[in-house]
């Protein structure tokens, strides 16, 4: 694609703001059990059990027909989402509030609304940020409120160097870390998560494509998978129920490279969480609050 020919009509794209989509699904056992197995849990959930934090991403998955996918594996432009004419898409972060548990067997309604579309230009070229608001309800009760940030960008060389302002190993003070759990993201882990979330983006399973087309040195670990692992390790170390969770991707992680899932409690009772690569640089940051049972 000739990037100089890309024209972004932001006013036209903003006409999508306010559009809504509603989907209903029954929370079957298998996606939750498969997620538990993927996260290496010894105990698999049964009917009536609540699903784990962020496991709702294994439900309400996109069901685009094979002919509707573009060469990168994403659905083609248009439809419910605005036709943003930039070829690279990624889930950049999000904010979630958990009001009530979702249980296996529940009938859940998900309403998605487009709440913002913004255009920025910088060193990376054109960037368009799309914000979606998801509301998941069981019966008359709202269970989860979520805002999701998606960034669209031009093709550009990918660097694995630390971004400006990143935490260096020397700045990571050991007594400020309550847990630091290692994780080796294998290609099979990425394949399982892609299958669970019906995510066909080829950077997660097609190594030649990831290297030759998008410029990555290896298979890219899903941002939502890292967020799910951060929440999973938080609940392994802290008793209670996840009340709120927000996260932001900083730097990509790649299959075959061990990283660490870290956390500590702050003075106000909240938790600071982050994923850290072997060089000590933060690749995702998150904050969370936990409600005691």
Domain limits, the chain: 1-155, 157-293
- pLDDT value at residue 5: 57
pLDDT at 7: 83
Length of the chain: 293
pLDDT in tens, 137-169: 998 899 999 999 999 988 765 544 444 444 444
pLDDT for 169 equals: 47
pLDDT digits (tens, 9 = 90+) for 63-92: 888 888 888 888 877 678 899 888 888 899
150, two tokens: 């998606």
- What is the strand order of the sheet 259-265 is part of? 20-26, 107-122, 125-138, 141-153, 88-98, 241-249, 282-291, 271-276, 259-265, 179-183
Six token digits for residue 241: 């129920």
CA distance 138 to 141: 6
The predicted pLDDT at position 89 comes to 86
**Cα(203)–Cα(30) distance, integer angstroms:** 26
Residues in the chain, pLDDT under 50:
1-4, 159-175
Eight-state DSSP code of residue 220: B
CATH of domain 157-293: 3.10.129.10
Q: In whole angstroms, how far apart are CA 88 and each of 68, 71, 74, 278, 290?
A: 17, 11, 10, 27, 35
Identify the burial level of 176 via C-beta atoms within 10 angstroms of its C-beta, where 0-12 means exposed, 13-18 middle and 19 or more buried.
exposed
Q: Do domains 1-155 and 157-293 have the same CATH topology?
A: yes
Residues 203-226 have pLDDT tens digits of 999 999 999 998 999 999 999 999
Angle between the N-to-C axes of helices 223-237 and 187-197, in degrees from 0 to 180, rounded to the nearest 10: 100
Residues with Cβ < 8 Å from 16, sequence gap 6 or more?
A: 81, 82, 114, 117
Q: Does domain 1-155 have CATH number 3.10.129.10?
A: yes
């Amino acid at each position: 694609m000739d990037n100089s020919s890309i024209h972004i009509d932001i006013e036209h794209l903003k006409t999508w703001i306010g559009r809504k989509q509603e989907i209903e699904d029954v929370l079957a056992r298998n996606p939750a059990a498969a997620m538990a197995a993927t996260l290496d849990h010894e105990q698999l959930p049964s009917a009536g059990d609540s699903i784990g934090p962020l496991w709702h991403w294994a439900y309400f998955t996109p069901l685009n027909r094979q002919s509707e996918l573009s060469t990168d594996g994403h659905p083609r432009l248009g439809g419910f989402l605005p036709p943003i004419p930039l070829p690279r898409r990624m889930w950049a972060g999000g904010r979630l509030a958990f009001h009530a548990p979702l249980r296996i067997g529940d009938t859940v309604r998900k309403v998605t609304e487009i709440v913002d579309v913004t255009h920025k230009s910088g060193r990376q070229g054109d960037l368009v940020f799309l914000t979606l608001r998801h509301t998941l309800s069981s019966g008359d009760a709202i269970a989860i409120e979520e805002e999701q940030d998606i960034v669209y960008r031009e093709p550009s060389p990918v660097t694995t160097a630390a971004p400006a302002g990143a935490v260096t190993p020397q700045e990571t003070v050991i007594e400020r870390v309550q847990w630091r759990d290692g994780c080796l993201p294998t290609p099979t882990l990425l394949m399982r998560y892609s299958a669970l979330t019906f995510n066909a983006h080829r950077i997660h399973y097609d190594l030649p494509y990831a290297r030759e087309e998008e410029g990555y040195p290896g298979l890219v670990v899903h941002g939502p998978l890292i967020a799910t692992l951060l929440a999973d390790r938080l609940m392994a170390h802290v008793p209670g129920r996840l009340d709120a969770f927000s996260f932001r991707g900083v730097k990509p992680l790649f299959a075959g490279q061990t990283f660490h899932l870290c956390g500590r409690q702050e003075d106000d009772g909240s938790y600071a969480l982050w994923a850290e690569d072997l060089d000590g640089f933060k690749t995702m940051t998150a904050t969370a609050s936990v409600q005691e049972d």
